[in-house]
Amino acid sequence: MTTVTLQHLTRRFGNVAAVNALSLEIQSGEMVAFLGPSGCGKTTTLRMIVGLLLPSGGDILFDGKSMLTVPTEKRGAVMVFQKHLLFPTLTIAQNVGFGLRMRGLPQNEIAARVTEMLELVHLPGFENRRAHELSGGQQQRVALARGLIIRPRVLLLDEPLANLDANLRLEMRELIRSIQQELKITSIFVTHDQEEAVMLADRVALMFDGVLQQFDAPRVFYERPLNAAIARFYRSENFLSGIKRGSQVETALGTLRVTSSDAQPDGPVLLTVRPEDVAIGAGPDNNRITAKVTAVVYMGTHTQLQLNVDGRAWRAEGPADFTAQPGDTLSVHLPDKRIWLLPTES
Amino acid sequence: MQRLHLIEKLRVPLMLAPSLLILTLLFVGGLVVGLGQSLGYMPVIGLNNFTLRHYVDVLTDNNFLQSLWVTFRIAFFSTLFSTVLAVAFALILRETFVGSQLSTFMFQVPLPIPHLVAANGIVLLVTQSGLIARLLATVGLLNSPSDFPVLVFDRAGIAIILTYLWKEVPFIGLVVLAVLKSVGPEFEELARTLGAGRWQRFWFVLMPLILPGIVSTSIIVFAFIFASYEIPLLLGVRFPTTLPVWAFNNYRDPDLNLRPEAMAVSIILTVISIILLVAYRRLARYAVTA
Amino acid sequence: MNKSWRWLAVIIIIVAVLAPLIPQLIWSFTFRWYFPSLLPGVWGTQAWEYVFSKSSRVGEGLINSLNLALVTSLFSIAVGLPAARALALYEFRGKSLVEWLLMVPIIVPGIVVIMGIHILFIRYRLTGTFLGVMLIHLIPCIPYMILVMSGVFANYGTALEDTARTLGASSLQTFWYVTLPGILPGLLVATMFTFLISWSQYVTTFLIGGGRIITLPLVLFPFIGGANHAAAAAISLVFVAPALAVLIFISRSLATESSIMGGFGRL
């Protein structure tokens, strides 16, 4: 198994740094998601790891050994592309066995391993079909099998689920996860979908504009984002500015108590609570603020409220039978354990 | 409603009719007359009986096999070399680099230039007193024109093949280039990550994708050269001539009795060409699926 | 691809392409040029004076060649464009047979057909006429038009036309504002092919023209491989100039629009 280390990895296109001094270490057998909006440099990073793109600076190490001078075909890093890219002139078996054929393995051994691989991706007996006879999901599974068959040191997936519809995506997600845990291959996948990153990855590397923002377990991004931009990317824009003094934050709407007070030093802070943690209606009397309802949307399992809190737009979730009208004034409770403090935005 | 259905039904036939009419009338008409004459049916000069005599005459002619061989050799080597060079240049030109636009433009230049102009240029270049011989003499590698090899009016047909190469490499190359550009680099990148080296990527990834283009264009080129008349007549030896030259010389002869033989030669030429191309296409199909 | 290989290839392309053209340029301005000098001993414009003289028939040939190539191309468009569209966008019974019939002149050597048509044309008094020569030029031109344009039509599809129709465009408006701009680069290339095919015809014009329709290839032919290199070169340059002018117009679409040349790959 292989650890992957990126040291100050940089790639410039002209004057623009698509990836800027990216450093992180991926443990052996770990599944890491590179997450970020399109154009943030995640695919560029993947292409550098696999060797299709030369870094402008920095280093890529597999098990502590620099890979910069190792050509792609010798690196043992396999990439599964967003487009499945099955060779149209080859059968499914020939597609899956391609990498082994390149290594000059005997035909019968290739055939045996192809059969084994097709079973692993739940496509037994598909050997003699051709790519165009398969559905999108099946093609993507063949592409996965084609990558896995050469027992790569690192598996790289570039938005592997982007071209699939919602149901298939779920199925494929579970398949990738179970195979990855079974084979314990160090894996990196690129996605712009934070939900996908949460469900699949052991750790998530969030990138904006070529810069690594935070590299942590998925739940940390929800509970303890490092800054407002990260919180926003995770769909929480409930912010309130205040001045922190010890375990108290003084805001325009009153003083609030916080538990994780050591997140920021005393002084100006940005306070945040995730929409699902804002308690509307009954609840404890302390830590209350007043909010004005601006919109009510019935979501089936719950009701989503849009609120105006000290001039900022907040979101909150209430029970499905919650009734309110735009224009109503509500008193909402912010649980002290659920309040997280961020640095103020410049 | 009825009218709409009728229009719908007639649309495709109406779109196709003009082309089909002109081509089949001319082509089939010409073919039937030619076939008739080759079989000795030529009422103008009082020949009214069908006979295979002219075919027998041609096929048993001592020079027939020699002519066939010359014709085939020129067409085969011109096509083979054109194809190989075209693929090589297309592989280079598909990438973007400083000067790639200029190179691509230069590569296209022979495409519109008529074969006769190419032939004239090749003659001025490679005769014993041509520009190349002069260059060699200037640097002292050559004392007199007779030291330079005979490349025009030669038995091997070097000047002929050079003329065709100059014309056909860009044609095949631009078709292959078009295919390569539409394929993009992804398949090769994928193959690289799966461990394919440079030659493996060419052979296992690119070749199957560009093969249909190569087969189509080399068929066009071979069929064209195999039956063309001007260049071998202008730049080739008087004997043995290629089959098209044989046919046309007979046809243009004031003695109308030579015409049936001209037709027989042309039809034999056509049949051989079709057989070769069908076999080639089969072979290529087999190569793709294997 | 290795960089030095690339430069070698670029140099080979430039040298090889220019090599047969440069001696023609020099020879056309040559009066005397003895071996082994690299440049003519005596320059002169005699060859060009000959080209511009009436007796050379170059002017007559140029006008005939231009007329023939233009009319043949326009005719090929009128006839070939609908057929190309039908082959590209419609499914119908006997399609592969039709395709085969329309492509046959490209693949099957035309030598028998040309000689056979010659005899037919003599009977119908078409030899020695502009119409007869144009008809015989159409045989190779129409298939090339169809080959290139069916690829272009297939690539262009009908989605944009359908959109235009739903927005209220008539079929003529749709063709003029949507289809034509979309296929224009391809159409220009296809027209260039038909123009140049007609422009380069020798045997067909020679036989059917019967000495009465003189085109540039007919003027040039007897000079090639002959003793008068200067005249051959000068006529050759007149012959090549319009062809190169055409290329400059379509060079870009030739290189960038893969559907155009790619059409040849689907024969």
For residue C249, what pLDDT is reported?
A: 82
- For residue C31, being part of any structural domain is answered with no
**Which pair of tokens denotes residue C156?**
């262009």
pLDDT (tens digit, 9 = 90+) per residue, B188-241? 999 999 999 999 999 999 998 899 889 989 999 999 999 999 999 999 888 889
- Predicted confidence band of residue B288 (pLDDT cuts 50, 70, 90): low
For residue A292, what pLDDT is reported?
A: 93
CB-CB contact of A57 with A18 (8 Å): no
- Is the pLDDT at B37 greater than 60? The verdict is yes
Whether residues A149 and A266 fall in one domain: no
A202 DSSP 8-state letter: S
Touching C (3+ Cβ pairs <8 A), the chains are B
The H or E element spanning position A309 is strand A302-309
Q: What is the residue type of A83?
A: K
For residue A30, what pLDDT is reported?
A: 95
Between A280 and B78, name the one with better pLDDT. B78
- Is the pLDDT at B289 greater than 70? The verdict is no
Neighbours of C252 (CB within 10 A): 13
- Is the pLDDT at B290 greater than 60? The verdict is no
For residue B277, what pLDDT is reported?
A: 86
pLDDT (tens digit, 9 = 90+) per residue, C182-235? 999 899 989 988 999 999 999 999 999 988 999 999 999 999 988 899 999 999
The CA distance from C144 to C136, in Å, is: 14
Whether residues A27 and A139 fall in one domain: yes
Smallest Cβ–Cβ distance between B23 and the set C102, C217, C229 belongs to: C102
For residue C212, what pLDDT is reported?
A: 92
Whether residues A324 and A184 fall in one domain: no
Q: Compute the average pLDDT of residues B42-70.
A: 86
In DSSP notation, A48-101 reads HHHTSS--SEEEEEETTEE-TTS-HHHH-EEEE-SS----TTSBHHHHHTHHHH
- For residue A228, being part of any structural domain is answered with no
B242 DSSP 8-state letter: P
- Is the pLDDT at A40 greater than 60? The verdict is yes
Whether residues A208 and A296 fall in one domain: no
For residue C266, what pLDDT is reported?
A: 64
CB-CB contact of B26 with C138 (8 Å): yes
Q: Which domain holds residue C119?
A: 3-10+56-221+238-255
Touch criterion met for C and A (3+ Cβ pairs within 8 Å): no
The CA distance from A175 to A140, in Å, is: 11
Phi/psi at C126 (nearest 5 deg)? -100, -10
pLDDT (tens digit, 9 = 90+) per residue, C234-258? 999 999 998 898 888 888 878 777 7
Q: What is the residue type of C75?
A: F
- Smallest CA–CA distance, residue C177 to chain B, in Å, is 21
- Is the pLDDT at A88 greater than 90? The verdict is no
In DSSP notation, C128-155 reads TSHHHHHHHHHHHHHHHHHHHHHHHHHH
Q: Compute the average pLDDT of residues A291-308.
A: 91
- For residue B22, being part of any structural domain is answered with no
Q: Which residue from C245, C9, B183 is spatially nearest to A87, judged by alpha carbons?
A: B183
The CA distance from A312 to B1, in Å, is: 62
CATH assignment at residue A260: 2.40.50.140
Q: Compute the average pLDDT of residues A116-124.
A: 93
Q: Which domain holds residue A334?
A: 236-342
CB-CB contact of A227 with A213 (8 Å): yes
Whether residues A104 and A215 fall in one domain: yes
Between C60 and A169, name the one with better pLDDT. C60
The CA distance from B43 to B202, in Å, is: 59
Smallest Cβ–Cβ distance between C38 and the set B138, B210, B227 belongs to: B138
- Is the pLDDT at C168 greater than 90? The verdict is no
Give the number of domains in chain B.
Answer: 1
The CA distance from B9 to B5, in Å, is: 6
Is B196 within 8 Å of A102 when comparing Cβ atoms? yes
The CA distance from C73 to B143, in Å, is: 50
Report the residue of C73, C101, C111 to disrupt the B interface, i.e. the one with the largest count of B CBs within 10 Å.
C111
Whether residues A246 and A328 fall in one domain: yes
Give the number of domains in chain A.
Answer: 2
Q: Which residues in C205-215 are b (16+ Cβ under 10 Å) and which e? A: bbbbbbeebbb
Between A7 and A160, name the one with better pLDDT. A7
**Chains A–B, number of C-beta pairs less than 8 Å apart:** 62
- Is the pLDDT at B24 greater than 70? The verdict is yes
Whether residues A136 and A193 fall in one domain: yes
Instruction: Look at residues A170, A189, A223 and tell me which one is the last residue of a structural domain.
Output: A223
Share of chain B above pLDDT 90, in %: 50
- For residue B140, being part of any structural domain is answered with no
Report the residue of B20, B111, B120 to disrupt the C interface, i.e. the one with the largest count of C CBs within 10 Å.
B120
3-state helix, strand, coil in chain B (%, to 5): 75, 0, 20
Whether residues A209 and A241 fall in one domain: no
- For residue A231, being part of any structural domain is answered with no
Instruction: Look at residues A223, A249, A270 and tell me which one is the last residue of a structural domain.
Output: A223
CATH assignment at residue C81: 1.10.3720.10
For residue C36, what pLDDT is reported?
A: 84
CATH assignment at residue B234: 1.10.3720.10
- Is the pLDDT at C8 greater than 80? The verdict is yes
Q: Classify residue B231 as left (phi > 0), alpha (psi -120 to 50) or beta.
A: alpha
Q: Is B55 part of the contact surface with chain C (CB cutoff 8 Å)?
A: no
- For residue A149, being part of any structural domain is answered with yes
Smallest Cβ–Cβ distance between B95 and the set C1, C37, C262 belongs to: C1
Residue of chain A nearest B203, judged by CA positions: A102
Give the number of domains in chain C.
Answer: 1
Whether residues A214 and A251 fall in one domain: no
- Predicted confidence band of residue B287 (pLDDT cuts 50, 70, 90): confident
- For residue B105, being part of any structural domain is answered with no
For residue A261, what pLDDT is reported?
A: 74
Whether residues A259 and A203 fall in one domain: no
Please tell me the pTM assigned to this model: 0.85
CATH assignment at residue A190: 3.40.50.300
Residues of A in Cβ contact (< 8 Å) with B197: 73, 102
For residue B84, what pLDDT is reported?
A: 96
Q: Which domain holds residue B226?
A: 30-95+164-289
Whether residues A23 and A99 fall in one domain: yes
- For residue C44, being part of any structural domain is answered with no
Kindly report the average pLDDT of chain A as a whole number: 91
Whether residues A144 and A272 fall in one domain: no
- For residue C99, being part of any structural domain is answered with yes
Kindly report the average pLDDT of chain B as a whole number: 89
